[in-house]
Amino acid sequence: MLTLTEPIYLSRLLKVRFLAIALFSLITFPLSAQNLMKVKTIQLEASPSTVSQDRQGYFYIGLTNGDIDKYDREGNLLYHFSAPKNGQVSLIEAWQGLRIFCYYQDFQDYLYLNRFLTESERFSVPNNQASFLSLVTLAWDNNLWIVDAQELNLKKIELPSNELITETPFNLNLENSSYQFEHIRDYQNRLYISDKQNGILIFDRFGNYLETLPISGVEHFSFVADELVYLKDDSVFFIDVYTKKEREIGLPDPSYKFVLMENSVLICFADTKVDLYQIN
């Protein structure tokens, strides 16, 4: 029978351990900032208040001075909108592309812009269906989703009649009684709501509660295919909303407030700039 001498055995054991450690590092450690190559920086005239992206990869920035800008995938400014009514936009939903939904929480109204950022229509959120603390977004069927943070319920409003379609109280589905709602998005026939204390709340297309992704502290999020994308600490995190598989990319700058992704390019928004990174 073949027997290994002690030196050979120890050498092979060390090699096995080294390979195991290397494999573990590849599996568990995030992609570092050194794997990102900055391809462009865009200087902003004001801080971003919200961002969005359409299906063609164009991205939109709502600025704190009330302006809205549209950029192409290479970061070139295409169109500019200055609202005749002063006030910053609270949410932009651009997934339709030809019609961009903009919600103004301060005024409790919303408007539609066309793809050239020309204002076409402006409407008030029905007073009997929402409070001043509400989040509002466009639903998949062109009706309105409203998160009423005062009444603690989720409502769906039919347009243009403003009639209530569905209403879901949060306290009947969730254990916690305290919420801090930040962002809302209708995506792939599901509704996602970020609550800084509880996580990402998920509802079906009819407003029925499904589950909560236990991700605390998230203010804004976006999507790439089946992955939910969000910023936390100094990294961008991706979580598959169906398999729950996660991945992470470290960022070189801790000052980013929002992040979007187009193909293999990360679009990172800070107070005075937008950085575009190619993922290598």
How would DSSP label each residue in 13-68? HHHHHHHHHHHHHHHHSPBPGGGEEEEEEEE-SS-EEEEEE-TTS-EEEEETTSEE
Considering the domain boundaries, does residue 15 fall inside one? no
> d(Cα 177, Cα 57) in Å, to the nearest integer?
38
The per-residue pLDDT for 178 is 77
Q: Is residue 274 part of a domain?
A: no
What pLDDT is attached to residue 173? 65
**Cβ-contact 173, 209 below 8 angstroms:** yes
What domain count does the chain have? Answer: 1
What pLDDT score does 41 carry? 98
Rounded-to-integer distance, Cα 268 and Cα 100, Å = 21
CA dist., res. 197 & res. 217, Å (int)? 6
Q: Which two tokens stand for residue 167?
A: 């209403």
Gap between the Cα atoms of 48 and 258, Å rounded:
9
Domain assignment present for residue 194? The answer is yes
CB 55 within 8 A of CB 97: yes
Tell me what pLDDT residue 128 has: 76
- Give a yes or no: residue 34 inside a domain: no
CA 202 to each of CA 119, 151, 166, 232, 247: distance values in angstroms, whole numbers, following the listed order = 31, 19, 16, 20, 20
On whether residue 208 sits in a domain, the answer given is yes
Q: Which domain holds residue 194?
A: 47-221
User: Is residue 212 within 8 Å of 199, Cβ to Cβ?
Assistant: yes
DSSP-based three-state secondary structure for 220:
coil
- pLDDT value of position 218: 94
Residue 23 placed within a domain: no
Q: Are 225 and 244 in contact (CB under 8 A)?
A: no
Q: Does residue 237 belong to any structural domain of this protein?
A: no
Q: Are 252 and 242 in contact (CB under 8 A)?
A: no
Per-residue pLDDT of the chain (280 residues; tens, 9 = 90+): 333 344 433 344 334 343 333 333 333 344 555 589 999 999 999 999 999 999 999 999 999 999 999 999 999 999 999 987 778 999 999 998 889 999 999 999 999 999 999 987 889 998 777 777 789 999 999 999 999 988 889 999 999 999 999 999 987 766 666 788 999 999 999 999 999 888 999 999 999 999 999 998 999 999 999 999 999 988 999 999 999 999 999 999 999 999 999 989 999 999 999 999 999 8
Tell me, what's the pLDDT at 33? 53
CATH code, 214: 2.120.10.30
Task: Please give the pLDDT value at position 276.
Answer: 98
Structure tokens at 229: 């994308």
Two tokens, residue 263: 């193909």
**Is residue 103 included in any domain, yes or no?**
yes
Taking Cα atoms as reference points, which of 21, 56, 53, 85 lies closest to residue 185?
53
**Contact in structure between 229 and 260 (CB atoms under 8 Å):** yes
| Residue type at 54 in one-letter notation | D
